[in-house]
Chains A and B, each alone.
Chain A
Amino acid sequence: MKKSRLRVIAPLALVTALALSGCSTANLGGDSAPDGDAEKGPIKIGAVLDVTGVGASLGVPEQNTLNMLAEQLNDDGGIDGREVELTIVDNQSTEDGAAKATSKLIESDKVDIIIGASRTGPSLAMRPIAEAAKIPMISVAANVAIVEGSEWVFKTAQNDVVVLETILNDAKEKGYTKLALVRDATGFGEGIADYITALGSERGITLVTTESFEPSATDFTPQMTGVRSSDADAVIIWGINPSAGLAQKAYVQLGVNKPVYHSHGISNQAFFDAAGDAANGVIAPMGRLLVADQLDADNPQREVIEKFKADYSEAYGEQPSGFAGHAFDAWHIAVNAIKEAGTDADALRDELEKAEFTGISGVFTMSPENHSGLDASALILAEAQDGRWNLVKD
């Protein structure tokens, strides 16, 4: 009885296979869209962001920004009359989520360019996939390792080395010679201690102790206890919110009375939400977005920033964060390049390497050697006071 069933099933399967084999080879590396359409149909921009999970305070405003800008662009008629199709995929703040999302965007959505991810770890996970597929990618995360030696990957957040230089210069001016570091344990914080040691030696500054914390951490007593008993003159807390803000809160609660610097990873409202009053007095390097109202009137970024802030707060009823700014810059750099070079991957990449753009985080000048495009002039130092940032040094 079963034999006879098999006799039916096997040929059936074979016939089905043959009949359907003509249908689609999309899953086997074939292109579902005929090549001719590639230059005519909608332009496809993919984004992989940390919309949920520990990176959500970065990814959500980035997502908002991209959605807003895509809508604006399509309302204005798209690029050369071609509609822009934006696909945002949440990587849930995980590295493998980012890798899966990137593969999906490339394999099934056939995007022309990818923006993301929000943080260094997921960005590093995406890089080899974008490179293997030869699709340009613009990360909105900070660590220079994302773009180092890459042909296809760019980024819009300030290099962490530049950020550290800004902090160390200020520390040197104030006469601090010993620093303690409390860093995020993810890709964002990896290598920071080495940079401080290297950059500090030129400035007579030594790193006396390093502590680390998970981005999901809620208790910082051990780390802060270690910092408290060190002989450091000042402390650098290097992380993103909410953990960086919670670390700041524990720092004050546990009575560590040393000046404290944070990284550019905290430039959003979430820092004040998490740290509360403990935020007062914190100094952090950041882009000009949060202190736009305090800028000189002739600052070239001022106009761009003020328009973005107005648009964003109209659309979402809140002020944009620095991370929203990174996404703004990435979007415009991508769109400008597509306007010039179209969607051919090689041409697009070459165009990105020539990009010049006055954006939220600074004035970008990309080159084949520099896929980051920002220098120290992109950063200012600001001090937190009562829930807002005051410009201390431009």
Chain B
Amino acid sequence: MTDSTKPTFVGKLAPRASFWTNNKGTLIGGGILVALMLVIPFTASSSMMNIVVFAMIFALPAIGLNLLMGLAGQVSLGQAAFFAIGAYTHAIMLTKLDLPGPVAAAIGVAAAMLVALLVGLPLMRLRGHYLALATLGLGFIVMIAVREWDVTGRTTGIYGIPRPTVFGIPIDNSGFFLWFITPFVVIGLVLALNLTRSRAGRALSAVNDSELAAESLGVNTYALRLKVFVLSAGFAALGGVFYAYQVAIVSPTTAEFHLSVSILLMVVIGGLGSVWGAVAGAFLVQFLGEGMREVIPAIFPGATGEVQLLGYGIVLILVILLLPGGLYQATITLWRKLPFARNRRAADAHATAAEDDTTIPQLPAVSTPVAAGEPILVISGLTKRYGGVVAVNDVSLTVPAGTILGLIGPNGAGKTTCFNMISGALTPTAGTVTFLGQVISGKKPHVAASHGLTRTFQNLQVFTSTDVVGNVYMGRYRKGRAGVLRGMLGLQAHEQGAHRAASYEILKSMRLTDAADDSASALPFGKQRMMEVCRALAAEPALLLLDEPMAGLSGHERDVMAELLRRLRTAGLTIVLVEHDVAQVMSLADHVAVLDDGVLIAHGDPETVRNDPAVVVAYLGTDLDEAEAELNELEEHA
């Protein structure tokens, strides 16, 4: 995925600032939307009115699908299924059980969310195309079910749905209806916007950049994705509820595939990952559909039926090929071209530069759940086989708390495989990893992370859709608590502010403050590596796994890094590092373990290991003398 096609919820982290500053965009946008909706019934022609009403109805499922696609990175081709479940349940509650409108609507939304939960529990484990096609199938199942069931009125559906009444006023014309639905759309919009900027939203956005890194920082991808899926079904169902009110009949066509396609189109046109884009998309697709229904029969005489699909198909293809970020991307690009917008960015940059200072930075906090010297990590019989190849063979090790263990070995010795099994990225074929008394092997990385184990990566896993401080901020994920609900309600500004401040502090310790507001992907390689270490430290870990932290760093940067690691050890942090720079390892580590061909061939203090003949052979070839000479030379060089 190129950067421009990646779903991005940009939006700066909320600093400690006034409510107005934090929510400026939402307030202005919401205000304009409300004002428009107030005026339109007086000015619009009735056919225009029809378009606006249906755009507002479909904005809700579009917002939901946009969250799913933008945040969870999953495509649903069955959004109409949840739309239909909401509409049908609402209609049944109203016509058959005579329940009051709000109760019926709540049940309708709850029913769809329940179905989403049941379907999502198994399906959200699947990757790639499978969810899309499973939801496509779900759409057909819902359509067949309502068509074959007496309760849902079979092919005819449920008709005679009573009009809603608000404070005794019946909502019996499209103008009133527009005013009736507008508050719900605005509230839905605000909730969705809040979610994208919340702890959960940022976590999911990080997952889209690098699932491995996000999980290693404690993000439970599966649970979050499932929540967003259920939430998106809720949005769809709310749209269905209003649809049932407005059209006064619910028939199997509400679950139709083409409806799912048009909702998907709204999201794609608006821009994946932009909540406002989804609303704009809903309007555009309604206008496009109406326009096509006017234009096509004029061009092709006799054309009837769903001719608007011609436009839908072309637009879907063209947007992906030419403007993958949709309207949102186009707007941002245009905005940046405006002269005063550019000035503001320059001013921002200047402000951060002035923050630079040279005092000795404060040490990032670490957690010390066990006393120094006690075993914190116990590896026993760890083995990984790929078919006939044994990558790691029966490795057993114990790491005492408050020490640095260096893991070395030639290329392909199995160091990274070991790391991956310890952090949960790989499931061992045999053996266990026990961290703080808990077996963590075979579990997802977020389990290890939740116990206080974080890591960095040999192949950098940078969250490219955010800035440097945003990356470090993700490290704070484990320290936060706000869930999806709190995020949606926007009740976490305080928590976010505190974590943001902490992130800046940690950047200081690596002297990266200058780059804090730069895009993470624009950073030089070495700085990215240091940023990753900061990110891991932000989680206040008890055990830090560093996979080649020095690779690509300049001499000065290496010194900063080594100094920091030593100070952290003194503070009680346990560190395991894989490193090619043997000299660095020897000087930093309390213990060194050597892997060769997946087998642990030596383990002890640096002096012992250095003199171990087996290590020398493994490392430098068969000639012992020559090897020893080379090793000494290396050391002197350092």
Direct contact of A and B (CB under 8 A): yes
In this complex, the interface size class of chain A, counting residues with CB under 8 Å from chain B, is: 35 or more
| Known contacts A96-B247, A121-B155, A190-B154, A10 near B42 by CB under 8 Å | no
| B39 close to A (CB within 8 Å) | yes
Q: Which of A2, A24, A27, A94 contacts B174 (CB 8 A)?
A: A27
In the assembled complex, which residues on chain B have CB atoms less than 8 Å from the CB atom of A90? 304
| B306 close to A (CB within 8 Å) | yes
A17 near B154: Cβ-Cβ < 8 Å: no
Of listed B36, B163, B175, B340, residue having the most chain A CB within 10 A: B175
Q: Which of A10, A23, A51, A127 contacts B35 (CB 8 A)?
A: A10
B518 to chain A, nearest CB (A): 24
In the assembled complex, which residues on chain A have CB atoms less than 8 Å from the CB atom of B43? 20, 23-24
In the assembled complex, which residues on chain B have CB atoms less than 8 Å from the CB atom of A33? none
Q: Which of B39, B49, B159, B175 contacts A13 (CB 8 A)?
A: B39
What are the interface flags for A270-283 relative to B under an 8 Å C-beta threshold, 1 for contact and 0 otherwise?
Answer: 00000000000000
A129 near B248: Cβ-Cβ < 8 Å: yes
Give the segment of A35-43, A99-107, A311-319, A381-389 that binds chain B.
A99-107
B147 to A, closest residue via Cβ: A185
A17 near B253: Cβ-Cβ < 8 Å: no
**Roughly how many angstroms separate A41 CA and B305 CA in the complex, as a whole number?**
32
| A187 close to B (CB within 8 Å) | yes
| B385 close to A (CB within 8 Å) | no
In the assembled complex, which residues on chain B have CB atoms less than 8 Å from the CB atom of A98? 249
Of listed B38, B42, B248, residue having the most chain A CB within 10 A: B42
B50 to A, closest residue via Cβ: A104
| A229 close to B (CB within 8 Å) | no
| A128 close to B (CB within 8 Å) | yes
Of listed A1, A100, A214, residue having the most chain B CB within 10 A: A100
Q: Which of B42, B46, B155, B305 contacts A23 (CB 8 A)?
A: B42
Interface residues of A in 334-361 (CB under 8 A from B): none
What are the interface flags for B61-101 relative to A under an 8 Å C-beta threshold, 1 for contact and 0 otherwise?
Answer: 00000000000000000000000000000000000000000
Of listed A1, A6, A23, A26, residue having the most chain B CB within 10 A: A26
Q: Which of A9, A14, A187, A190 contacts B32 (CB 8 A)?
A: A9
| Known contacts A13-B35, A29-B173, A124-B156, A92 near B306 by CB under 8 Å | yes
B31 to chain A, nearest CB (A): 7
A108 near B47: Cβ-Cβ < 8 Å: yes
**Roughly how many angstroms separate A97 CA and B38 CA in the complex, as a whole number?**
27
B185 to chain A, nearest CB (A): 17
B338 to chain A, nearest CB (A): 11
B156 near A95: Cβ-Cβ < 8 Å: yes
Q: Which of A13, A104, A186 contacts B155 (CB 8 A)?
A: A186
A99 near B31: Cβ-Cβ < 8 Å: no
In the assembled complex, which residues on chain A have CB atoms less than 8 Å from the CB atom of B304? 51-52, 90
A20 near B39: Cβ-Cβ < 8 Å: yes
In the assembled complex, which residues on chain B have CB atoms less than 8 Å from the CB atom of A190? 154-156
5 pairs of A and B residues whose beta carbons are closest in the complex: A108-B46, A13-B35, A95-B251, A28-B175, A27-B175
Task: List 6 other contacts, CB 8 Å, given A27-B178, A100-B247, A103-B248.
Answer: A24-B43, A27-B42, A29-B172, A108-B45, A108-B50, A127-B160
Question: What is the interface of chain A, defined by CB distance below 8 A to chain B?
Answer: 1-2, 5-6, 9-10, 13-14, 16-17, 20-21, 23-29, 51-53, 90, 92, 94-100, 103-104, 107-108, 120-121, 124-125, 127-129, 132, 185-187, 190, 214
